[in-house]
Chains A and B, each alone.
Chain A
Amino acid sequence: MTGGFLTLFEKEVMRFWKVSFQTVAAPVLSALLFLVIFSHALAGRVEAYPGVGYVQFLVPGLAMMSMLQNAFANASSSLIQSKITGNIVFILLAPLTPADLFAAYLAAAMVRAVVVGAGVVLAVAWLVPVPFPNLLWLAAFTVTGAGILGVLGIVAGLWAEKFDQLAAFQNFLILPLTFLAGVFYSVDSLPPFWRAASHLNPFFYAIDGFRYAFFGRADVSPWASLAIASATLCALSWLTLRLLRSGYKLRH
């Protein structure tokens, strides 16, 4: 890592912070709307876990979903905007290493995820009593969950050449995987096939483990979730670093 990493990281944070109304306030509002709608429609539903009401159950899932989506959005939109407007040339002409690029985009994506996640939890805490989380598990799943999506954001930003390609990546891959990761329900309540399918989705483990940090209960052991989420993050990071080293779609 070189000194340039820090500047690129700061630039990426400044970039989303300058438009925080869209990059932070808007996702917090969306999560609140989801909460209001689902809690109103499904308030009568049985408790997800004993002693945990459905609305309470929703909170960590919505917070994590917002974190995942915003980590992805930060890295991918920054990269594609720089590519399309052409100003990525200033980064490419600088003596930054592939690891610098990787770490800077990833770290900034995680910062945005944390800001949005904290915003959702704090905003919701006014409406729903949420237990104080176990901070170690919370940090572990924040890092792995936001990390996975941050890395996927880098991959999508590198791969996409047009905004509609990025939108396709987001709508056909990221959105289904986050919505079907047990944000709105416990996957244990699903029929066996869909339960098994959910267990193939790495996002599920990030959400399930994150929920464990709040309730001390989850569908899967948090250790297993952490192991799977960490392995996914490592594998994707390795692949992405290779893409960056090869100059994939950046250095022709």
Chain B
Amino acid sequence: MASPAVEVRDVSKRYGPLRALDGVSLSVEQGEFFALLGPNGAGKTTLISALGGLVRADAGTLRVLGRDVAAEYREARRLLGIVPQEVVFDPFFSVRETLELQSGYFGLRGNGAWIGELLERLSLGAKADANMRSLSGGMKRRVMLAQALVHRPPVIILDEPTAGVDVELRQALWRFMRELNAAGHTIVLTTHYLEEAQHLCGRIAMMKTGRIVALDSTRRLLADFSERVLRVKLESGALPAALAAGATVDAAGWHRIPVESAAQVETALARLREAGAAVAHLEVAEPELEEVFVKIMARQDAPAREDA
């Protein structure tokens, strides 16, 4: 059987009294588009740093495509491209020099063709010979992405790549990530934009205080923790008993009625009509990852869910 793209087993890391990682285990298969979610301070960046060798785990093992990140760090790092969360750059060099140097660190000389393609693909061609200092924040982020891809790693980890990035660039970035994923690259990302994770990622791990508190396919998490609801605001009349059973009402007078399918929406509206209630406003809300996230984070000492 092929090695998982990323395999983390019982990894712990303490900083003084703080348990940044507290027995984390997870595995990402090759070709997955995987999201690592959690509030600030949950341990996502520490976990990514441990995979990249920036942080040394106190206990446990981390592997990239079967290579141990400590014992076989050179092989592991060649297989891995990490885009760090903070925008950093070397002000001494131009964009092209930065990418040539990064290639060289991986022992790749004469990597100009691929660098040219990356520059083109990330719309950096016009700035190739500009000093890094002169670039906008969004451009610097794109250069960091190019730096992570310069050695064509099969596994790519992006730590909040879209934080503070405008809509256009964000969409371009995701298009590019989708293409890389379609070409066989495994992609792991962290983000606070949950709708991004919901639309892009097949599987999701959620972290809280150094632990994995949920780990499942996006579809199952949505099915288990969120639901399609019909929201109605009534002009007159009241909710019939048949609907009121499963419904809730908020302070603004919106009734929230769970519905499983479009047919049930019809049924619910028919019942409202029969009961003589007049609907002022109406909307159907699809299941949302944000709801899943909030529910999971609110659970106390939530046990980690294992993959089915």
Contacts and interface: CB of A to CB of B under 8 A. Distances in A.
Interface of A: 2-4, 6-8, 10-11, 14-15, 18-19, 82, 85-87, 89-97, 247, 251-252
Contacts of B62: none
B302 to A, nearest CB: 28
Contacts of A7: 101, 103-105, 109
A247 B56 contact: yes
Contact of B105 (A18, A87, A90, A251): A90
B299 to A, nearest CB: 31
A93 B82 contact: yes
A3 B104 contact: yes
Contacts of B104: 3-4, 6-8, 10-11
Listed from nearest, the 7 A-B pairs whose CB atoms lie closest are A7-B104, A3-B107, A94-B105, A86-B88, A95-B74, A95-B77, A4-B105
B55 interface: yes
A7 B105 CA distance: 6
B40 to A, nearest CB: 18
Given A2-B107, A8-B105, A93 B90 contact: no
B55 to A, nearest CB: 5
A45 B75 CA distance: 64
B226 interface: no
B89 A95 contact: no
B106 A95 contact: yes
A2 B82 contact: no
Contacts of A15: 92
Nearest to A9: B104
25 contacts: A2-B74, A3-B108, A3-B109, A4-B104, A4-B105, A8-B104, A10-B104, A11-B104, A15-B92, A19-B92, A85-B89, A86-B84, A86-B88, A89-B88, A90-B147, A91-B105, A92-B54, A93-B54, A95-B73, A95-B77, A95-B105, A97-B74, A247-B56, A252-B54, A252-B56
B-side interface size class: 20 to 34
Nearest to A11: B101
Given A2-B107, A10-B104, A14-B92, 5 more contacts: A4-B106, A6-B104, A15-B92, A85-B88, A89-B54
Nearest to B86: A86
Interface of B: 52-56, 73-75, 77-78, 80, 82, 84, 86, 88-93, 97, 101-109, 147
Contacts of A252: 54-56
A94 B102 contact: yes
Given A11-B101, A18-B92, A251-B53, A95 B107 contact: yes
A31 B297 CA distance: 65
Contacts of B80: 93
B53 A93 contact: yes
Contact of B77 (A87, A93, A251): A93
Contacts of A93: 52-54, 77, 80, 82
A185 B29 CA distance: 69
A220 B103 CA distance: 48
Contact of A87 (B55, B90, B103, B106): B90
A94 B77 contact: yes
A95 B52 CA distance: 10
A183 B53 CA distance: 44
B55 A251 contact: yes
A96 B52 CA distance: 12
B101 A87 contact: no
Contacts of B56: 247, 251-252
A14 B75 CA distance: 28
A252 B57 CA distance: 9
A76 B230 CA distance: 64
Contacts of A14: 92-93, 97
Contact of A4 (B93, B107, B147): B107
A2 B106 CA distance: 9
A90 B83 CA distance: 10
A19 to B, nearest CB: 8
Given A85-B88, A87-B90, A95 B78 contact: yes
Centre residue among B86, B88, B108 by max chain A CB count within 10 A: B88
